[in-house]
Amino acid sequence: MISKKEVKHIAKLARLGLSEKEMEKMEKELSSILEYFEKLKEVDVSQVEPTFHSVPIENVMREDEINAKRETQSAKLLYLAPETKDGYLKVKSIFKDGAN
Amino acid sequence: MELTELTISQAHQGLLKKEFSALDLCKAYLGRIKNRDKEIFAYLTVSEKLALSQAQKVDEMIAKGGEIPLLAGIPVAIKDLLMVKGLKCTAGSKILENYIAPYDATVIKKLRAQGAVILGKTNMDEFAMGASGERSAFGPTKNPYDLTRVPGGSSSGSAAAVADNMACYALGTDTGGSIRQPSSFCGTVGIKPTYGAVSRYGLMAMCCSLDHVGAITKTVEDAKIVFDAIKGKDSMDSTSVESISNAKAQMLKINELKIGIPKEYFIEGIDPEVERLVREAVKKYEQMGAKVQEISLPHTEYAIATYYIIVPCEISANMARYDGIKYGYSTVKSKKHKSQDLLDVYLKSRAEGFGEEVRRRIIIGTYALSSGYYDAYYLKAQKVRTLIKRDFEKAFEKVDIILAPTTPTPAFKIGENVSDPLTMYLCDVFTAPLDLAGLPGISIPCGKINNLPVGLQVMGNYFEEDKVFQVAQIFEENK
């Protein structure tokens, strides 16, 4: 149903590190779960609209106002980050050595 | 009677009559937690200081005289998926092991405004993904009725704490049954309101279109008290709505009550003793004058497949925020991983931070949403969801209320279902349909099998929580 190669590809899309062993386990488990999903093939939905929300909801609009508390709030949130610099989140380089 | 055995309304009366102080009540619970929680492990965090200071404030309010709100001074436990400012909020996950909530969830704000006393944060399946409590990164909660059994999940600690008198009531969340199923296993009352009736702001999202905040209590009356305190439209949650149902819901006349019994909920695989207890409960309503009829919810058998497609899809999106950059567990400064680039940080932080079930669901969801599969899985599931919802809508044209078992079996043994994800998913067979439809439902105790509690599920139409409470209370009072 699903190959190890596919699991590898999906894991990369999901930015999720998996060991070789986990990939093998995932391959087996996912195949049986996907097989179970096949059950839905029995249901005719050709005339049915999807339900993305159970209760009808509408767009909620508000004024685009400046939030004076934003600066103190952002300091509190940055405090939770593993690495920051000058009020920004710091991330590792996205290019391999030499490229930048 | 011990202070920790009181219901919300009894404790409230006791405070008003000055039979005991809020501080007495708070200390009684903290003492109980100290004695019992080593065995049960319902709490991940006990917020003793916060609780004592809140209790003291309530005593000052009482000393000044006058009315106090119903929940003032009443000790509550909060599922560790809801943010309480200044307290750790882990979601039962290693990835948030040291995360301190920077703000209050709306429901917490509402409880604080009433003078609630917050005892702590309760254990749970990681990010609410599980039906047994065994998926907590910090260890499983035990069922107070039998320590070798699971309390159900994912609101495992909330249900166990209330059942074991380690909290007067608790907040939980329900996406596929996570309030009602552990309530059934632990002999508590658990209400899952209509979708949108209670704000989700400050709730860590698992599956936005299915997540509900609700309450676990000792009695139906208490469940109504808590629901009334936390419900309402919130500008911070665009999907929240004002309950249409008026506060002065008409008093129900039992001889005018039409009850539906869905035949698809009494299928092979249900414990015959569970079926017997639920049928006896139905008979009781009938004897009191209610009109009972068999109904059909024909798409019930597709609910679990539908649910386990929609949920992982939304999970794969919601879990993307845990990236090792903004907050939570990160390998960024780890000495073990040298010379990392950004991709390495993502891969390793998430690999080391997330547990097995979370990783599994991220992979299923990413697969189901990936190019070429969207129509076959996600869109198809949302269409079947429409059919499941229609089943209920048609049923509620004929009946006022639906009665069914909450779970097919009583609490199972720890370790019994953990190795097979599919068996665990089937625990939600009687609870997930209601989440998919967004309808309100409550689980109330209706008997025991070998000392293990069994739950009766009372399901109502949109925003008819008051009717659900009334019908549940009729059974509770005539047990």
| Per-residue pLDDT tens over the stretch B196-213 | 999 999 999 999 999 999
The answer to whether residue B284 scores a pLDDT higher than 70 is yes
> A77 and chain B: CB distance < 8 Å anywhere?
yes
Q: B332 contacts in A (CB within 8 Å)?
A: 82-83, 92
Residue B436 has, within 13 A of its CA and on its CB side, a CA count of 33
What is the pLDDT at residue B248? 52
Which among B378, B383, B429 is the top mutation candidate for probing chain A, defined by the most A β-carbons within 10 Å of its own β-carbon? B383
> A16 and chain B: CB distance < 8 Å anywhere?
yes
B64 in catalytic set: no
Mean per-residue pLDDT of chain B: 95
Which among A19, A33, A39, A94 is the top mutation candidate for probing chain B, defined by the most B β-carbons within 10 Å of its own β-carbon? A33
> A89 and chain B: CB distance < 8 Å anywhere?
yes
What is the pLDDT at residue A100? 43
Q: Once rounded to an integer, what is the mean pLDDT over residues B369-388?
A: 94
User: Which residue of chain B comes nearest to A13, CA vs CA?
Assistant: B366
Question: Distance between alpha carbon B73 and the CA centroid of its chain, in Å?
Answer: 23
Q: What are phi and psi of B281, to 5 degrees?
A: -60, -45
Q: B346 contacts in A (CB within 8 Å)?
A: 15
B178 in catalytic set: yes
CATH number of A4-41: 1.10.20.60
CA-wise closest residue to B195 among A40, A62, A51: A51
What would the pLDDT profile of B227-281 be if each residue is shown by its tens digit? 999 999 999 999 999 876 554 556 788 999 999 999 999 988 899 999 999 999 9
What would the pLDDT profile of B15-28 be if each residue is shown by its tens digit? 999 999 999 999 99
Mean per-residue pLDDT of chain A: 88
What is the pLDDT at residue B119? 98
**Separation CA B259–CA B474 (nearest Å):** 13
Fold adopted by B3-230:
Amidase signature (AS) enzymes (3.90.1300)
Cis peptide before B154 (omega within 30 of 0): yes
- Categorize the per-residue pLDDT at B160 as very low, low, confident or very high, splitting at 50, 70 and 90: very high
ipTM: 0.92
What would the pLDDT profile of B426-463 be if each residue is shown by its tens digit? 889 999 999 999 999 999 999 999 999 999 999 999 99
Nearest CB to A32; choose among B346, B381, B422:
B422
What is the pLDDT at residue B243? 79
Contact flag B354-A16 (C-beta cutoff 8 Å) = yes
Q: Once rounded to an integer, what is the mean pLDDT over residues B180-208?
A: 98
Contact flag A54-B363 (C-beta cutoff 8 Å) = no
Q: B465 contacts in A (CB within 8 Å)?
A: none
> A80 and chain B: CB distance < 8 Å anywhere?
yes
Distance from B174 to chain A by nearest Cα, in Å?
15
B132 in catalytic set: no
The answer to whether residue B66 scores a pLDDT higher than 80 is no
Catalytic residue among B132, B178, B240, B243: B178
pTM, two decimals, is 0.96
Distance from B67 to chain A by nearest Cα, in Å?
34
> A96 and chain B: CB distance < 8 Å anywhere?
yes
Eight-state DSSP code of residue A39: G
Are the C-beta atoms of residues B361 and A8 closer than 8 Å to each other? no
